[in-house]
Chain A
């Protein structure tokens, strides 16, 4: 049965995907960084000996997609195949050859079977601290953003480089945690390697050549079929967001060619003085994610399924920042790339992509310390707490946007009860923000309110990383914009959407995170859905009247039904 090999290859492909998912799970369970274990900001993949990615775990962050795909080739080039031995583990946090900032550590392990190099395992995790100025946009160059680890060996033939670990320990704020995470990454590759070895034995393989060709050929063909089904057109898109001190404009041209799609960012704003610049790898990852999710969502990520998505940008634009530009918060611009690409793609294939959403995650870090304006209680302490939060996603052609749900990032928020155990911080409010979803035939997802203070006896700095305070998500096809970001102290004093700001003892920070934009004319919205939204308090009575034309008597009927506990 000549075709039996086909069945075996199918099983092996399944297996490799399961192996990398398992690799990622192991990392989530052993990592110390909140960003990895709670938020899922990590990635894991398996590669053939040429460095071509065969399978990748689907984790919280599309930002690692292409970056990971390219990284192993850099390792092969830098280390040299002749210098690779069984028991080696390699490491880097190079923003340009890894995944975009010093806070991502990538580790690669060569996989040997019967003495022959048969492939590589790689994984990446976002760690909480890498020294330097700390996680923020304040550095003027990458040199100030923390310790740089060029591509090098972490272990050779099983022997860990203790000089390297001492240098790492000496340069970061939480050395035990970081070294714990590095070991977790190494373990994660080791688990992948063991499972691959089992598979090789089970199927009596000596190398991965056959299964690699099977995976890559099927993926290439399926991806190109999808591209061929698109109109051979090009279109441009443009979007402006707050930036740090000056607004940033992303310009994009998407061209559908015979066997590939080229996305070019010519005309985009230049690199910024602040650390919100994006290395090309990260831009590529999000541009590619936007197109893949629109046209080929179920094709797994690998070298062949990603290759037809070409991404280019002139050097020194904010989406192709060159060394030594500061890049720590590259996610802020990176998370907006899909909305910019969608703006162009919508002109090629209408009614597939959503309206604009909140875009970048609404993250902030609080640095708490004993109050300095008066004697602090004895148990007051210092603590750093990082929180991941989401605004609303954009309305889709046939569905409302998702309330307080991350897009394009897929990371999770932390339970507030867990956050309050992590440091002397109080979250007073974390709930949906009515009227923030842009009106439309399909409504944008709601943003959220948050209120934060320190526990009695503490003061704090808040490192804000918000956008869309000046530039809300824009609607599509007559849909309205989503609500803007706002931030202020509870005594009414103004605050900025980005940067480190002091909050004195006893004060709260009051924040409203942005909503997604609407899709289509709100007057076309199904009145039952308007009434449902009113009953639930997603929209206020005024909003229902103003944007959707609900009459006063209809509003009164809904309010009565809610009072009587009747379904709406």
Chain B
């Protein structure tokens, strides 16, 4: 897939824009502040910095892979286009009525998030398709024209079209699109049967509305970016990372910008998957902890787990149901409000609570000495000896232990009759427990046993907490890769070209129709392959087939992977056997006597994964000599212990250090708990294992 040896990975995050340049196997990275008003400026600046470091001209760059939170932020901050929805008569309020439930049972003053489009921006046409895909009420062109006139008068810039059962029969949505294209050619149009052809009207309508809402903004940004880069002499193709962990062309990204949501975290998961491949590890838990949130993802067989629906813009303590559902292929992650800046308090039950409220970078936790008075996780880390006040962020931010202590004492210690150290221990334990619980629940939902997993930790705060998390989860091995601070941008450079096409069509195994199945899967394969071909005309394209199955009567489908042979020469017995195998694995037993049905069909087309050179595991050389000793709290014995301190640079491949130990570097600090040993591998990863 490489069109040139010089490649640039760019990740626009909320605070920093990370830029990584790879040239002939060498890697150069930088972080520059994100420039909100014109995000392309930060990219250009970062690009010049890394080009200088690598001593290459921008014109030598052969390929740019880009991921961004701009789409997500536009949805969260409601900064999208003036958008209208056209929907089926009788269903004007689907995106507002949601599931008709409250995501928090015990709050009398609960406020539901406003839909992206208020009611006056939602229009209806008279038409109806039934659950078989048959037209019951034909859509009259004159009715569409009536609505289009109103849209013209109100001056909308973008229109979403979402009609009932359109995933089975898109003809009415296509008619609306054609009339709009004819009458209002300058207006952007998104139709739900293209953006997200899946059953369940709330998710599908919301997804097409989100796509329409950010389409003009993203199209304009991507256009500007192309121009700016050309102006700088960069004439290569630009590709975009999508939420499913692959890359698509800039044209497809502009057409389906909703697929860019969560591209940054997806890059992180790809980064972890690549390390898993280098080490030949089949079961990996990736753990990314920053200032505000922690993200956890399961990676099996070096492939991040994916899902079909996720939620963005949660408005209420990251609570499920408080955001908006987006049904597109996405890397499946749990995100919780736990980061270095998460604030702690004691509630009415005298329980320590941590997060999701965060101190952010301004004023930051108390130890930053910038006016923050409430204790954060970083304060606890400092008091427990995990951080060196002189050497935080490479010494650029001096930390104030006394401020951390008094904040912990005032807000946690006094109410619970604890001293500052105990309070710090409590805060640290609670945040670690919150993350461990999220990981456990995620594992159970996927039928996985975490004790068989290896953790790969990255992000500024992760290496401080990963060791304890492993103890809580019974995980034996922890790997902390180098370059963890720009993990997502590195991940972009490892991602294949890929596109997943989905379709909802019901079929019971008792009505198994091999011909129809072959047809559905071939069409999906052609569609998905077409997207990949538009990025790469030569490479092999592999197809991954998945069907979502359940017992008739159940509401949750489980994804069943099929081989190409199983998919292209389908037979009912094989499908049933594959389903029962996976079902039993997830839920312990199969259910006798029930029919089984398929609800969703999916084909992911992808270029082959980059061949990975396996790491030659380092032989243990003699232990590295410590540069010093400091007291670090050990949560198991609940005592401060003497821990060796060593800088990461001093830890050459093959050298090891026994816990308790602290490995320091500019971007973060790695805590090696007592009873574990860290070994530096040839690729620079710190490999921490239980025992000596």
A interface residue numbers (CB < 8 A to B): 1, 3-4, 6-7, 10-11, 13-15, 18, 21-22, 25-26, 28-32, 34, 37-38, 40, 58, 60, 62, 174, 176-177, 179-180, 183, 187, 190-191, 195, 198, 202, 218-219, 222, 225-226, 292-294, 296-300, 352-354, 388-390, 396, 398-399, 402-407, 410-413, 415-418, 420-421, 426-432, 448, 451, 455, 535-538, 562-565, 568
A413 x B422 contact (CB < 8 A): no
Report if A406-B102 is in contact (Cβ < 8 Å); known contacts: A11-B433, A25-B445, A426-B130.
yes
How many angstroms from the CA of A310 to the CA of B554 in the assembled complex? 38
* Closest residue on chain A to residue B427 by CB atoms: A7
B155 x A451 contact (CB < 8 A): no
A7 x B201 contact (CB < 8 A): no
Q: Besides A32-B551, A432-B96, 7 other CB < 8 A contacts?
A: A4-B422, A6-B418, A18-B441, A58-B106, A183-B589, A294-B108, A448-B93
How many angstroms from the CA of A225 to the CA of B350 in the assembled complex? 12
Stretch in contact with the other chain, from B112-120, B371-379, B574-582, B658-666: B112-120
* Closest residue on chain B to residue A18 by CB atoms: B437
Which residues in window 336-381 of B have CB below 8 A to A? 347-352
Q: Which residues of A contact B440 (CB under 8 A)?
A: 18, 22, 195
Q: Which residues of B contact A568 (CB under 8 A)?
A: 120
Interface size on B, residues (CB 8 A): 79
Q: Which residues of A contact B128 (CB under 8 A)?
A: 428
Q: How far is the CB of B129 from chain A (nearest CB, A)?
A: 10
Q: How far is the CB of A301 from chain B (nearest CB, A)?
A: 9
Report if A417-B201 is in contact (Cβ < 8 Å); known contacts: A10-B430, A25-B441, A538-B119.
yes
How many angstroms from the CA of A537 to the CA of B351 in the assembled complex? 45
A176 x B99 contact (CB < 8 A): no
Q: Which residues of B contact A15 (CB under 8 A)?
A: 433, 437
B102 x A402 contact (CB < 8 A): yes
A219 x B201 contact (CB < 8 A): no
Report if A416-B201 is in contact (Cβ < 8 Å); known contacts: A4-B425, A183-B591, A298-B106.
yes
| 20 sampled A-B residue pairs with Cβ under 8 A | A7-B426, A21-B441, A176-B594, A294-B108, A296-B348, A298-B106, A298-B347, A404-B93, A404-B100, A405-B112, A413-B97, A415-B201, A417-B164, A417-B201, A429-B90, A430-B94, A431-B92, A455-B130, A536-B118, A565-B155
Q: How far is the CB of B636 from chain A (nearest CB, A)?
A: 10
Which residues in window 634-658 of B have CB below 8 A to A? 638-639
A38 x B437 contact (CB < 8 A): no
A3 x B108 contact (CB < 8 A): no
Q: How far is the CB of A247 from chain B (nearest CB, A)?
A: 27
Q: Which residues of B contact A18 (CB under 8 A)?
A: 437, 440-441
B interface residue numbers (CB < 8 A to A): 82, 89-94, 96-97, 99-102, 105-112, 118-121, 128, 130-131, 136, 150, 153-156, 164-165, 199-203, 347-352, 416-418, 422, 425-426, 429-430, 433-434, 437, 440-441, 444-445, 472, 474, 506, 551, 553-556, 587-589, 591-594, 638-639
Q: How far is the CB of B446 from chain A (nearest CB, A)?
A: 11
Report if A415-B100 is in contact (Cβ < 8 Å); known contacts: A292-B106, A396-B109, A429-B90.
no
A431 x B101 contact (CB < 8 A): no
Partner of A431, one of B91, B130, B348, B437: B91
Q: Which residues of A contact B434 (CB under 8 A)?
A: 14
Q: How far is the CB of B497 from chain A (nearest CB, A)?
A: 32
Q: Which residues of A contact B347 (CB under 8 A)?
A: 298
B591 x A22 contact (CB < 8 A): no
The 7 closest A-B pairs by CB, nearest first: A565-B154, A429-B90, A37-B555, A297-B106, A536-B119, A420-B131, A412-B99
Q: Which residues of B contact A416 (CB under 8 A)?
A: 91, 164, 201
Q: Which residues of A contact B589 (CB under 8 A)?
A: 183, 187
Q: How far is the CB of A38 from chain B (nearest CB, A)?
A: 5
Q: Which residues of B contact A389 (CB under 8 A)?
A: 100
Q: Which residues of A contact B94 (CB under 8 A)?
A: 430-431
Report if A411-B101 is in contact (Cβ < 8 Å); known contacts: A22-B444, A218-B350, A430-B90.
yes
Partner of B594, one of A180, A297, A415, A564: A180
Q: Which residues of B contact A396 (CB under 8 A)?
A: 108-109
Q: How far is the CB of A440 from chain B (nearest CB, A)?
A: 16
Q: Which residues of B contact A4 (CB under 8 A)?
A: 422, 425, 638
Partner of B351, one of A13, A34, A406: A13
Report if A34-B555 is in contact (Cβ < 8 Å); known contacts: A14-B437, A417-B165, A430-B91.
yes
Q: Which residues of B contact A29 (CB under 8 A)?
A: 445, 556, 587
A180 x B90 contact (CB < 8 A): no
* Closest residue on chain B to residue A300 by CB atoms: B349
A58 x B105 contact (CB < 8 A): yes
A7 x B429 contact (CB < 8 A): yes
Q: Which residues of B contact A405 (CB under 8 A)?
A: 100-102, 112
Q: How far is the CB of A75 from chain B (nearest CB, A)?
A: 23
Q: How far is the CB of B271 from chain A (nearest CB, A)?
A: 28
B444 x A407 contact (CB < 8 A): no
How many angstroms from the CA of A401 to the CA of B422 in the assembled complex? 44
Q: Which residues of A contact B105 (CB under 8 A)?
A: 58, 62, 293, 410
A11 x B429 contact (CB < 8 A): yes
Partner of B199, one of A176, A421, A428: A421
Q: How far is the CB of B673 from chain A (nearest CB, A)?
A: 15
B108 x A352 contact (CB < 8 A): yes
Q: How far is the CB of A349 from chain B (nearest CB, A)?
A: 12
Q: Which residues of A contact B155 (CB under 8 A)?
A: 564-565
Q: How far is the CB of A418 from chain B (nearest CB, A)?
A: 6
Partner of A398, one of B107, B109, B131, B348: B109
How many angstroms from the CA of A390 to the CA of B506 in the assembled complex? 28
A565 x B418 contact (CB < 8 A): no
A537 x B120 contact (CB < 8 A): yes
How many angstroms from the CA of A396 to the CA of B120 in the assembled complex? 25
How many angstroms from the CA of A102 to the CA of B551 in the assembled complex? 25
Partner of A3, one of B109, B200, B416, B554: B416
Q: Which residues of A contact B92 (CB under 8 A)?
A: 431-432
B102 x A410 contact (CB < 8 A): yes
Q: Which residues of B contact A21 (CB under 8 A)?
A: 441
A430 x B156 contact (CB < 8 A): no
How many angstroms from the CA of A563 to the CA of B387 in the assembled complex? 60
* Closest residue on chain B to residue A17 by CB atoms: B437
B594 x A390 contact (CB < 8 A): no
A30 x B100 contact (CB < 8 A): no
* Closest residue on chain B to residue A297 by CB atoms: B106
Q: Which residues of B contact A398 (CB under 8 A)?
A: 109
Q: Which residues of A contact B109 (CB under 8 A)?
A: 396, 398-399
Q: Which residues of B contact A417 (CB under 8 A)?
A: 131, 164-165, 199-201
